[in-house]
Structure 1
Amino acid sequence: MYEASEWARNGDTIHRTVVAPDFRTAIAIVNDIAEQAEALNHHPDIDIRWRTLHLALTTHDAGGLTDLDYKLAARIDGIVADHQT
């Protein structure tokens, strides 16, 4: 199971907040997350507030967290890291 300090568990969901340097970068991160989510057929809840992204993952069909949530979380971490350089 993948775990990272950026993600916090709350019940059957893991959450992460990302603050991008600007709105354009925040949207680029969301677009990259969308590509990975489509590839995995697993879609996060994303709340966009200017340059702040609130992300939540759970597997609704399974009634909680699965390996798929942690797999997408790892990919999201990579995307965020790529946009910070």
Structure 2
Amino acid sequence: MSTQPNLKMLFKLSGWVMLDGKLHQAFIFNDFTQAFGFITQVAIEASKMNHHPHWSNVYQTVVIDLITHSEGLVTQLDVELAGKISDIFNHMSK
């Protein structure tokens, strides 16, 4: 069973919003190759956590939604993955 998210951590997630009961954010890149590289890095981190986001990619935009399916709501696991995703994006944006 997953834990409820730490609200302080949730509020520190820059750019993430709650949408339809999920953590949601759209990430925009310079081109498709950069967007795909981001997806690859996120997939590696998500796999390590055994947590898998809903996402879509159209050209330079990657949209990610996070929810813990077994719980039917956002949990601490989602917040932690969102933080890692933000770190990856911020590193790529430098």
After superposition, residues 1-85 of structure 1 pair within 5 angstroms as: 1=6, 2-3=9-10, 4-85=13-94
4+ runs deviating over 6 angstroms: none
Structure ID, larger Rg: 2
Deviations 1:9-63 (A, max 9, x none): 0242110000011111000000000000000000001100100011000001011
TM-score (norm 2): 0.86
TM-score (norm 1): 0.95
Gap runs ≥5 in structure 1: none
**How much is the aligned-residue C-alpha RMSD, in angstroms?**
0.9
Gap runs ≥5 in structure 2: 1-5
How many residue pairs get aligned? The number is 85
SS for the counterpart of 1:60 is coil
Structure 2 counterpart of 1:57, one-letter code: L
